[in-house]
Amino acid sequence: MADQKFPVTGKEVRLARYAENQPTKDDFEIVDVEVTEPASGNVVVHNVYLQVTAVMRDLMTEEPGLPMMPPYKVGERPWGGAVGVVVASASPDLAVGDTVQHMDGWTDYSTGPASQYFKVEASWFPGPEYFLNQGITAYHGMADVAEVGEGDVVFVSNAAGGVGSLAGQIAKARGAKRVIGSAGSAEKVEYLTKELGYDAAFDYHDGPVLDRLRELAPDGIDVFFDLVGGEQFEAAVQAAAQGARFALCGTVSAQTGNAEGAFPRLDIMAGIIRQIVIKPFSTYHTPEQIQAWTQHFAQWLQEGKIVLPYTVVEGGVSAAPEALVALLGGAYKGNVLVKISEG
Ligand SMILES: NC(=O)c1ccc[n+]([C@@H]2O[C@H](COP(=O)([O-])OP(=O)(O)OC[C@H]3O[C@@H](n4cnc5c(N)ncnc54)[C@H](OP(=O)(O)O)[C@@H]3O)[C@@H](O)[C@H]2O)c1
């Protein structure tokens, strides 16, 4: 039943207090926990990677009110997407050595009913890190919400982040004519154009965003995929082409700065004149959405049309709190994975 000798001690992260402004690593505590043989129907999974994402900042507050996303509770282990390997099984559904994807990543070892773990084939992708990315949201927003296609001029804000680094590539793979991205440093701007196939990019700190958009998209933007809110949204309204589609995905400027980033002003007259279609959306990770992304991701990887942008943070699960704080501060590019073990 098990290759692993039990009991074994692992580390897990717990929320120590709710975040008030910007999270710090002291909002979490690291605890040693003993892991025993799985009860009937259960498995023990040794985690390999935990994915950290900006929305975790919201989940650290008492009442985030996010759909399908239970908030983190003080004294408890947060939830978070992970990939791991089954090291003990008391279930006929999973065997020792199976690679699984699941939502219990802030720990060395995860134990629970086999039904909570989704078996994946390690051979589907070049490595286990490929199972953890923000592509479901990026694909849903670009394909279903913005309906990006041939000839579109596209602007993605926060283009070097987890969602944005895939959103721009998805737009290109679907035939967009020109994809423009914004990011917070010269290094990230270069990363967008040199490694992710963006046609143009700019640092949003470098003067008014509207000036940069007018220069880079003189005929206007057809699709805006917004992850930031605030000034970038207001500028995109002014730079929109007739009938532009806005897919509003996130307001990271409110999550990491002052809350006003979530409340940009809409120039209603500009919206009317240009007949802008503004669609905020939440991704529910339905089976259809998961399948649509997984299929396209595998195909585009094979065709060389997409790369997985990601950063691996070493240091085990104890490094996860600092990784989340650093992510919000702009330290990383692409999807952010904390390496928990070799599996
Ligand atoms: N609607 C949905 O279904 C859905 C699903 C997933 C995520 N989201 C939302 O999408 C957004 C992005 O999520 P993510 O996980 O991909 O996060 P992320 O991009 O990895 O977030 C971190 C990045 O945000 C940028 N940032 C921080 N403060 C900023 C500011 N004031 N202005 C502009 N950029 C700033 C930083 O990049 P720079 O160095 O470039 O500033 C940093 O690297 C979040 O708001 C998240 O809640 C929505």
- The finding on whether 145 has its CB within 6 A of some atom of ligand 1 is no
* Residue 32 CB burial class (10 angstroms; 0-12, 13-18, ≥19): exposed
- The finding on whether 53 has its CB within 6 A of some atom of ligand 1 is yes
Return the ligand 1 atom nearest residue 162 CA: 16
- The finding on whether 309 has its CB within 6 A of some atom of ligand 1 is no
* Residue 322 CB burial class (10 angstroms; 0-12, 13-18, ≥19): middle
Token duo for residue 136: 């479901």
Domain boundaries, the chain: 8-133+308-339, 135-280
- Provide the pairing of β-strand 200-203 with 118-120: unpaired
85: β partners: 46, 99
- The finding on whether 47 has its CB within 6 A of some atom of ligand 1 is no
Q: Say if domain 8-133+308-339 classifies as CATH 3.90.180.10.
A: yes
- The finding on whether 283 has its CB within 6 A of some atom of ligand 1 is yes
C-alpha of residue 229 to centroid of ligand 1, in Å: 10
- The finding on whether 64 has its CB within 6 A of some atom of ligand 1 is no
Q: Where are the alpha helices (DSSP H) in the chain?
A: 55-59, 135-139, 164-173, 186-195, 209-216, 230-238, 252-256, 268-274, 287-302, 320-328
Return the ligand 1 atom nearest residue 332 CA: 43
Angle subtended by helix axes 209-216 and 230-238, to nearest 10: 40
Between the alpha carbon of residue 187 and those of residues 54, 79, 191, 325, the distances in Å are 20, 32, 6, 20
- The finding on whether 185 has its CB within 6 A of some atom of ligand 1 is yes
Domain 135-280 CATH superfamily? NAD(P)-binding Rossmann-like Domain (3.40.50.720)
- The finding on whether 255 has its CB within 6 A of some atom of ligand 1 is yes
Q: Whose CA is nearest to atom 29 of ligand 1?
A: 253
Interacting residues of 151 by C-beta distance below 8 A, sequence separation 6+: 175, 176, 177, 222
- The finding on whether 337 has its CB within 6 A of some atom of ligand 1 is no
Q: Report the half-sphere exposure of 228 (CA within 13 A, side-chain side).
A: 23
C-alpha of residue 10 to centroid of ligand 1, in Å: 31
Query: How far is CA 80 from its chain centroid?
Result: 11
C-alpha of residue 254 to centroid of ligand 1, in Å: 10
- Determine phi and psi for 4, rounding to 5 degrees: -75, 140
Per-residue pLDDT of the chain in tens (343 residues, 90 and over written 9): 456 789 999 999 999 999 988 899 999 999 999 999 999 999 999 999 999 999 999 999 998 989 889 999 999 999 999 999 999 999 999 999 999 999 999 999 999 999 999 999 888 899 999 999 999 999 999 999 999 999 999 999 999 999 999 999 999 999 999 999 999 999 999 999 999 999 999 999 999 999 999 999 999 999 999 999 999 999 999 999 999 999 999 999 998 887 889 999 999 999 999 999 999 999 999 999 999 999 999 999 999 999 999 999 999 999 999 999 999 999 999 999 999 999 7
- Provide the pairing of β-strand 178-183 with 153-156: parallel
- pTM higher than the cut 0.85: yes
Q: Which of 158, 284, 324 to mutate to test the pocket of ligand 1 (most atoms within 8 A of CB)?
A: 158
Exposure string (b/e) for 49-81, b if CB count within 10 Å is 16 or more? bbbbbbbbbbbbeeeeeeeeeebbeeeebbbbb
